[in-house]
Amino acid sequence: MKRSTAVMAACAVALGSAAVALPNATAAAQGCRVDYTVTSQWQGGFQATVRVTNLGDALTGWSLGFAFPSSAQKVSQGWNATWSQSGASVTATNVDWNRSLGTGASTDLGLVGSWSGSNPSPTSFTLNGVACTGSPTTTSTTSTTTTTTNPPVPRTPVEANGQLRVCGVNLCNQYNRPIQLRGMSTHGIQWFDKCYNNASLDALVNDWKADLLRIAMYVQEQGYETNPSGFTNRVNSLVDMAESRGLYALIDFHTLTPGDPNYNLDRAKTFFSQVASRNANKRNVIYEIANEPNGVSWQGIKNYAEQVIPVIRAADPDAVVIVGTRAWSSLGVSEGSSETEVINNPVNATNIMYAFHFYAASHKDNYRATVSRAASRLPLFVTEFGTVLATGGGTYDQASTAAWLDLLDSLKISYANWTYSDANESSAALRPGTCNGSNYSGSGVLTDSGAYIKSRISTPDNFPTS
């Protein structure tokens, strides 16, 4: 995938009362700024981000319009807005969670499109039907003149959001505002430890613009049970590396075989007692207590969770804890059940979320329908997903992956992609051999899957800061 960038159109406009009710005759003039960026381009297709910044009075409800230079350019997918197209004309209308734009506030949209011949970018935009026409507006009153500017943007995800908590069905930040974290999962650190170093984490922060690193510590399969102190120390070191870069660290107790987490109950209590005590004062730590339970009842998983969570709470009472769900964390779907078993019998604990995993080439409409239903009743976190088959192999399915990520974006469900590694499998983001060197930046080290996931993760976060 060829990467190109074209930043277009800084626009401002005076909006009259038809677009927004003015409080009095001397109310501030309205203005907007639109930044259109082509983040990726390939033969016949492209991806773009669109940042809309309100430079005037607060808006409740908005619609952005623009026209492609050619009707051969088509929006095939979009996120963070309701997208429509007629001929060359495109409209993006707010969704519920971003319908309000305060003075200086921005919202970030995105689209994947197709093109033929050439791919010129739009050069003019409208907000609520009025043309954006120039540079940011100076706001005047009867006696003073001020210039509206964007509020300062915190430098890192942890600086922006602070200590996380669960509020309702959402992951919320220090302002009790719903947020979405987007990042990458390691592969098993017993196999790919060399992939996780200063250079690779710098690339994850600076090149990918990621929000979190999931640390996959297998318990069996040459993992924790073979060297508990060594693996605990390595997890803690990766937590520190993430913290120093402002990333959230998701500590994953990666139980897979055997599928009943109770097999590792004593190990889990020991491990989480140690890491929670050691990291209790950090704001960037999230605990995932059982990766993919399988072949075990929901009641069995619930019993396990209700014994491990108090161990964490004794040392770290504030951190978010994520509980794996039945059938490889599919809310039971992959073993013929559904989310109702969790809804009707939830874990007896607070500040928790439930894990959901999918692999886009294997898990499609019925799994997406489950997430759509469950998200209104349960706080969900997609702690692992792949762009390929559930085996971790096969050709990556971009269309299904895009449909999944569009859904997660619309529901503000956080996610981590499997995997930030150079494993010789199509789910890996890095090309084989990358971790033998020191270069983790740029498109040359990415697989097709990695290039697409990076293009989605690297779009601006737009975290609420008040």
Stretch 195-206: mean pLDDT, rounded? 96
Q: Which amino acid is at 374?
A: A
User: How many Cα atoms within 13 Å fall on the side-chain side of residue 102?
Assistant: 6
> Alpha helices, DSSP H only, in 344-447?
365-374, 398-411
What CATH number has the domain bearing residue 348? 3.20.20.80
pTM for the model stands at 0.70
When mean pLDDT is compared across 13-22, 27-36, 380-389, the lowest value belongs to: 13-22
pLDDT band at 274 (very low <50, low <70, confident <90, very high): very high
According to DSSP, the residues that pair with 359 across neighbouring strands are 386
Domain of 310?
A: 157-457
Q: HEC string of 315-356? A: HCCCCCEEECCHHHHCCCHHHCCCCHHHHCCCCCCCCEEEEE
Query: What does the pLDDT read at residue 8?
Result: 35
**Are 83 and 184 part of one and the same domain?**
no
In percent, how much of the chain has pLDDT > 90?
A: 65
**Are 201 and 178 part of one and the same domain?**
yes
Helix (H, G, I), strand (E, B) or coil at 80: coil
Exposure b/e, 305-338, CB count within 10 A at least 16 = b: bebbbebbbebbeebbbbbbbbbbbbbbbbeebb
According to DSSP, the residues that pair with 90 across neighbouring strands are 66, 85
Residue 63: CB atoms within 10 A of its CB come to 16
What CATH number has the domain bearing residue 98? 2.60.40.290
Residues noted as catalytic? 292, 384
Helix (H, G, I), strand (E, B) or coil at 172: strand
Stretch 64-81: mean pLDDT, rounded? 83
User: How many Cα atoms within 13 Å fall on the side-chain side of residue 343?
Assistant: 13
**Are 245 and 287 part of one and the same domain?**
yes
**Are 73 and 174 part of one and the same domain?**
no
CA distance 216 to 190: 9
Written as six digits, the tokens of 107 are: 């919202």
**Are 338 and 359 part of one and the same domain?**
yes
